[in-house]
Structure 1
Amino acid sequence: MFLRVIVTFLLAFSVNANMLQAQQKPNIVVILADDLGYNDISTYGNKLVPTPHIDSLAMSGVKMLNGYCTSPICSPSRAAILTGRYQQRFGFEFQEKDAPIGKLSLLQEKKFYKRAHKEGDIIDLSRDSVVVPNGLPKDEITLAQVLKKNGYRTAAIGKWNLGVADYQLPDAKGFDYFYGFYAAAGLYALEKDSTIVDQHIDDILDKPTWFRRKYSALVRNGKPVDETEYLTTKFGEEAVAFIEQNKNDPFFLYVPFNAPHTPFQAPKDIVAKFANIAEPQKQVYYAMITALDNAVGKIINKLKETGLDKNTLIIFTSDNGGATYTTATDNEPLKGGKMCEFDGGIKVPYIMSYAEKIPAGTTYQSPVSTLDIFSTAVAAAGIASPVDKVYDGVNLLPFVTGEKSNVPHDILYWRNGYSKAIRKGDYKLYINERDKVEYLYDLSKDPGEHNDLSATLPDKVTDLKTELNRWEATLGKPLWKSRFHFRLKVRDRYYMFPT
């Protein structure tokens, strides 16, 4: 009897010790908004849309005042986040072209691929190996793959938008669990749902999504699913369920929301809170941000309920700036928005919370990049990055804690075909080769990019051009051509941007 008690005690001790050892590795939660502008949430100055849950992350951690993404459009930006590398290094320079897969038959898939093949996009049409060079290359390593190899449970919940070939899908890129859709956009609810407000935008980018008249093809681990719940809410609930199911093991939870990307749909009860706003598109847009904040709140509350908030690194950011062409946001005082390399298109809200590791309620001034998410996460997990890749991000933890006093990045770069930019210190050079314009700004004095200094500081222009050329020489060629050239009005004039 005594021996049995001792054995039972030792087994229990062993189980508890294993659980404790597992939880010594921090959980990693990356929450990604879609087209959320720098000033679209209240902690960054929005006075019309309360976002208390997202704000709470800033109150418990650090808010970056100069956080940048790597591209002013969704798909390339997300590629850089998951790989920790400038997406141009591996040819992911332009938006990944949607493939309408999911519930489609093989015949429909073949018709789509054959049509794309005529446009030079598809290089293999075999059923077993549909090679679509639109998306992550086979040899690119994601954060999920690195963490999974080191004992983490992994999940992606939301919008994928990184390719639809077998080797590009979430399960092939390190995720144990995926719930969401593969495309760039889709409805949040069935059109004309009596509980939902639908707001169409008179824009070429909005019309194709409504034409589908249904959700983008939703899947759970590759199998089609039907859904009736408002999608932003559903994504939050799926994230909560994953936390509950994996609370005894270290996990990496990537939640790439599609909110508040078009199409504009939001629950009526939330839209009603913005009845004082005159413009209907803004009412729905603000309600979508509120729904996003509510979903983030569910994730935060679940971490607190399980006690995991004490050992979880949480990062919240957006894939690019607000889409000004919807007229629902303007990114002011920043210039421009989604599609362009002015700061309105590439400067994003960026928050990190890590209990007892990052001082609560702090701000960080130096420029940082979403490239840094990969390096910060693997460093927090005590893992080395793969040695056969060039990584462009850095571990931000010693910078935001004050352990390091220098800056994470001396220079940040952007290139989207003929539209390019470089920031070195406080100076930023923007080049649009198609429009034949070059602008130099001193962001320390002119964050709104109003005053072009290129004529008065030609040596600075030359210096930044040299740095930009040096970086471009290290890049690969785009693996596919841009989809189209988007004509975007930025303040007083129109510019062309490839997507």
Structure 2
Amino acid sequence: MKKGILGLLLVVIAYSVFGQNQPNVIFLFADDAGYADFGFQGSKIMKTPNLDKLAHRGVRFLEGYVSDATCGPSRAGLMTGKYQQRFGYEEINVPGYMSENSKYLADDMGLPLDQVTMADYMKKLGYATAAYGKWHLGDADRFHPLKRGFDEFYGFRGGARDYFPYKSFEGIHHDYKMERNFGHYEEPNGYVTDVLADEAITFIENNKAKPFFIYLAFNAVHTPMQAKPEDLKQFPNLTGKRQELAAMTLALDRACGRVLDKLKELGLDENTIVVFSNDNGGPTDKNASINLPLSGTKSNFLEGGIRVPFVITWPKELKGNITYDKPVITLDLLPTFYAAGGGDVADLKDIDGVNLIPYLKGEHKGRPHETLHWKKENRAVYREGDWKLIRFPDRPAELYNLTQDITEQEDLAGKYPERLKDMYKKMFEWELTLERPMWMLKRDFEKYDIDRMDRYRTPELVKKEMMLPIKG
């Protein structure tokens, strides 16, 4: 009997020590934010003191990417650590955009059930897991966060919703409603951005004695443009959507700051990995976001659609006030979190992301990725080193050297035809490894995205439209 008690005690002690050594993980994920719309990204207009402090305390990626220029596929790649095209998740999961020729129904739009998620992996390591905010990886019950590795959920299943509580559910689809755990619809007691921070803080307090993983997926600053009156007053020199965006960004920063303050209050900040990023480039025409100096916007494959603000901190292990200039992608977060939590990345046999920690510590000197890919039907991008090939469905391919031309203004396809041909071949080789898309877009949305790309291609025109100084 005594041996049994002693053995149990040793197990408890070992678990306790292991748990203390495992870092907590919090992923702060914004929605549709502009590349240039944070202080740590150079903005002189937006007020983001908490995120600026986070960036100063950690590593800021100068070339941080997402795996798609739209919300749903980007999140599918993030959650699985692999290119979402490899399991057919190539298009936007918005039923209204689906082609009538698709063999799948709207109910089929969601992260396939045979895919293992980031939360699944973290639970295997003993983590308590929670998802708060925007899900957008399937409205049907079988795709629900609680069935994809998360212990707790408070948020909405769809892609967008109001920031203030609905007074009535009449006419409101269930994927717009705020849902607590499974099937219990409970509208927020206040502004959604603030309430999501409340939920995360409560989870931290309830799980402070064991390792936890929080996926805090804000819907800010996605449309609809809705801000608190007191936040709007902080930007009297702005008008219209730009003022609303600034106020919504301020609320986002405040919410992130409250979560970070709670970590510090509980003495958890040193051994907590905190990542801040965004799901795709800002849709300038929709929410007045700015991606400068990058060209393009959400939905297209210019840098403004796929390169995003990206910060990671882990004070216990990583030096602060560092910029990292090699390309990384949100696919890397799954293996990074898993390895930091004590998992063996060799167990992750079917992913495309890499553990970033050895690179950030200087233990690995090369690039985390020599090549990167993006694809949506006929449009595709292949990045090799600093060279970027863009293939279009309706015009000749383009070639850019991103080191020399971050704004993608000088097409070098005619000057380097052999490089273009070689990269084209490698792009096709990668495409041959992919699954067929599970659903297809209507053609009018293809034209919409191309038109948007052309509209925001020249930085000077963007500055003019946004009434910004052309110089400076």
Q: Which residue of 1 aligns with 2:58?
A: 61
Q: Which amino acid is 1:24 matched to? A: N
Distance 1:477 1:432 in 2: 19
The alpha carbon displacement at 1:317 in A equals: 0.6
The alpha carbon displacement at 1:147 in A equals: 1.0
| 1:152 has 2:127 as partner | yes
Distance 1:442 1:319 in 2: 24
Q: Which amino acid is 1:416 matched to? A: K
| 1:234 has 2:195 as partner | yes
The alpha carbon displacement at 1:212 in A equals: 5.2
Change (3 A) 1:14 1:284: same
Distance 2:95 2:261 in 1: 34
Change (3 A) 1:385 1:145: farther
Q: Residue deviations 1:146-197, cap 9 Å, x none?
A: 11122110000000000123331101100000000000111101589xxxxx
Distance 2:100 2:336 in 1: 42
Asked if the contact 2:99–2:440 (Cα under 8 Å) also holds between the matched residues in 1, the reply is no
Q: Which amino acid is 1:489 matched to? A: R
Change (3 A) 1:326 1:303: same
Q: Which amino acid is 2:39 matched to? A: S
SS of the counterpart of 1:413? Answer: strand
Percent identity, please. 39
Distance 2:9 2:456 in 1: 70
SS of the counterpart of 1:437? Answer: coil
Q: Which residue of 2 aligns with 1:81?
A: 78
Q: Residue deviations 1:1-41, cap 9 Å, x none?
A: xxxxxxxxx99999776534312111111111101121111
Distance 1:385 1:404 in 2: 15
476-485 vs 176-185, which moves further: 476-485
| 1:271 has 2:268 as partner | no
Distance 1:56 1:493 in 2: 30
Q: Which amino acid is 1:59 matched to? A: H
Q: Report 1:155-234 matches (<5 A).
A: 155-190=130-165, 216-222=176-182, 223-234=184-195
| 1:246 has 2:246 as partner | no
Asked if the contact 1:121–1:134 (Cα under 8 Å) also holds between the matched residues in 2, the reply is no
Distance 1:163 1:22 in 2: 32
SS of the counterpart of 1:58? Answer: helix
Asked if the contact 1:73–1:339 (Cα under 8 Å) also holds between the matched residues in 2, the reply is yes
Q: Which amino acid is 1:137 matched to? A: P
Asked if the contact 1:31–1:255 (Cα under 8 Å) also holds between the matched residues in 2, the reply is yes
Q: Which residue of 2 aligns with 1:314?
A: 274
TM-score for both structures, normalised by structure 2: 0.88
Q: Which amino acid is 2:223 matched to? A: T
Q: Which amino acid is 1:135 matched to? A: G
Change (3 A) 1:442 1:119: closer
SS of the counterpart of 1:310? Answer: coil
| 1:37 has 2:12 as partner | no
Change (3 A) 1:459 1:172: same
SS of the counterpart of 2:197? Answer: helix
Change (3 A) 1:97 1:264: same
Q: Which residue of 2 aligns with 1:457?
A: 416
Asked if the contact 1:379–1:395 (Cα under 8 Å) also holds between the matched residues in 2, the reply is yes
Q: Report 1:378-457 matches (<5 A).
A: 378-385=338-345, 387=347, 389-433=349-393, 435-457=394-416
Q: Which residue of 1 aligns with 2:44?
A: 47
Distance 1:170 1:411 in 2: 31
Distance 2:301 2:175 in 1: 31
Asked if the contact 1:67–1:350 (Cα under 8 Å) also holds between the matched residues in 2, the reply is yes
Distance 1:61 1:460 in 2: 37
Q: Which amino acid is 1:250 matched to? A: P
The alpha carbon displacement at 1:492 in A equals: 5.2
The alpha carbon displacement at 1:97 in A equals: 2.5
Asked if the contact 1:186–1:214 (Cα under 8 Å) also holds between the matched residues in 2, the reply is no
SS of the counterpart of 2:397? Answer: strand
| 1:262 has 2:219 as partner | no
Q: Which amino acid is 2:190 matched to? A: E
Q: Residue deviations 1:267-319, cap 9 Å, x none?
A: 01111111111x31100001111100001001111111111112111111100
Change (3 A) 1:220 1:191: closer
SS of the counterpart of 1:239? Answer: helix
Distance 1:385 1:139 in 2: 20
Q: Which residue of 1 aligns with 2:466?
A: none
Asked if the contact 2:47–2:246 (Cα under 8 Å) also holds between the matched residues in 1, the reply is no
In structure 1, list runs of 5 or more residues that go unmatched. Answer: 1-9, 100-115, 124-130, 193-210, 495-499
Number of aligned positions between the proteins: 445
Q: Which residue of 1 aligns with 2:452?
A: 489
Q: Which residue of 1 aligns with 2:311?
A: 351
Asked if the contact 2:61–2:324 (Cα under 8 Å) also holds between the matched residues in 1, the reply is yes
Asked if the contact 1:133–1:480 (Cα under 8 Å) also holds between the matched residues in 2, the reply is no
In structure 2, list runs of 5 or more residues that go unmatched. Answer: 1-6, 458-472
Q: Which amino acid is 1:439 matched to? A: E
Distance 1:369 1:117 in 2: 29
20-29 vs 484-493, which moves further: 484-493
The RMSD of aligned alpha carbons is 2.7
Distance 1:165 1:214 in 2: 10
Asked if the contact 1:335–1:491 (Cα under 8 Å) also holds between the matched residues in 2, the reply is no
Q: Which amino acid is 1:149 matched to? A: K
Change (3 A) 1:119 1:429: closer
Change (3 A) 1:221 1:157: same
The alpha carbon displacement at 1:489 in A equals: 2.9
Distance 2:102 2:410 in 1: 42
Change (3 A) 1:16 1:493: closer
Asked if the contact 1:187–1:214 (Cα under 8 Å) also holds between the matched residues in 2, the reply is no
Distance 2:11 2:383 in 1: 53
The alpha carbon displacement at 1:436 in A equals: 1.9
Q: Which amino acid is 1:67 matched to? A: G
Distance 1:284 1:181 in 2: 22
Distance 1:492 1:378 in 2: 41
Change (3 A) 1:120 1:301: same
The alpha carbon displacement at 1:384 in A equals: 2.8
| 1:474 has 2:433 as partner | yes
